[in-house]
Amino acid sequence: MPSYLLRVQLEDRPGSLGSLAVALGSVNADILSLDVVERGPGYAIDDLVVELPAGAMPDSLITAAENLSGVFVDSIRPHIGLLEAHRELELIDHVAAAPDRSAKLQVLADEAPRVLRVGWCTVVRSTDTGLDRLAGSASAPETQAESAPWLPLQAATALDGNADWVPEVWRTMDSALAAAPLGEPRTAVVLGRPGGPDFRPSEIARLGYLAGIVATILR
């Protein structure tokens, strides 16, 4: 049965998540996992992996959720991959086990999309002659950026997906972008999420934390 990653904003009050679960159950959806992305004054942003019966339309999830007062669906995307409680730790373990720097960077690029719930990942390095791609996930766009004026980078940050350096095909796909330094200011891990949603501050912090650990392993 198909599964989807549903990002919702809802009121942060007792019973709101239970009401959402009942609403999704009314369209025969089965919640497989839930991650809290962010909490603020009076609201919460949650990621739910939801399974639907074969043939059911994912739009029914949006309708069911937004019929509740105070619930807004930020995005819905097909979910591909395993559900794991300790995704970051497993990625770090796999990076550490890779035999050399090149292999470690490739492991990071391959596994980061699943762990951080994005469409693709690359590792890039800015040089005097341009921008080199050191590693990329299988889903990374074939069209590469020719420059990265945002480098050097001192901390994880969201990037402007409409900036001049962004390839036209990335802009056409309305890609949300984020990056973090990887051991040195001119080398960075870059995440892309075609079609959004935008990266939340908590996701940027999570990227920075993970990139910092991987950078330590690379030294």
The confidence score (pLDDT) of residue 83 equals 52
The confidence score (pLDDT) of residue 85 equals 45
Sign of the CA dihedral running 21, 22, 25, 27: negative
For residue 56, give the DSSP letter: -
| Residue in the structure block whose two tokens are 């919640």 | 31
**Domain residue ranges of the chain, discontinuous segments joined by +:** 3-78, 87-218
Which of 3.40.50.12780, 3.20.20.120, 3.30.70.260, 3.40.50.620 would CATH assign to domain 3-78?
3.30.70.260
Q: How far is CA 172 from CA 75, 141, 175, 176, 208, in A?
A: 18, 12, 8, 11, 27
Per-residue pLDDT of the chain (219 residues; tens, 9 = 90+): 888 999 999 998 878 888 999 999 999 999 888 888 888 899 999 989 899 998 899 999 999 999 999 999 999 988 866 554 457 878 999 999 999 999 999 999 999 998 898 999 999 999 988 899 999 999 999 999 999 999 999 999 999 999 999 999 999 999 999 999 998 889 999 999 999 999 998 899 889 989 998 999 998
Closest CA relative to residue 144, chosen from 116, 113, 162, 123:
123
Angle between helices 87-97 and 101-116 (to 10 degrees): 170
| Residue in the structure block whose two tokens are 């889903």 | 139
Which of 3.40.50.1820, 3.30.450.40, 3.40.50.2000, 1.10.3720.10 would CATH assign to domain 87-218?
3.30.450.40
Amino acid symbol at 177? L
pTM of the prediction? 0.77
What is the C-alpha separation between 122 and 136, in angstroms, rounded? Answer: 4
Phi/psi of residue 186, each to 5°?
-100, 5
The model's pLDDT over 72-106, given as tens digits with 9 standing for 90+, comes to: 999 998 886 655 445 787 899 999 999 999 999 99
Tokens of 55: 């043939």
Closest CA relative to residue 76, chosen from 173, 176, 177, 4:
4
Query: How many residues does this entry show for the chain?
Result: 219
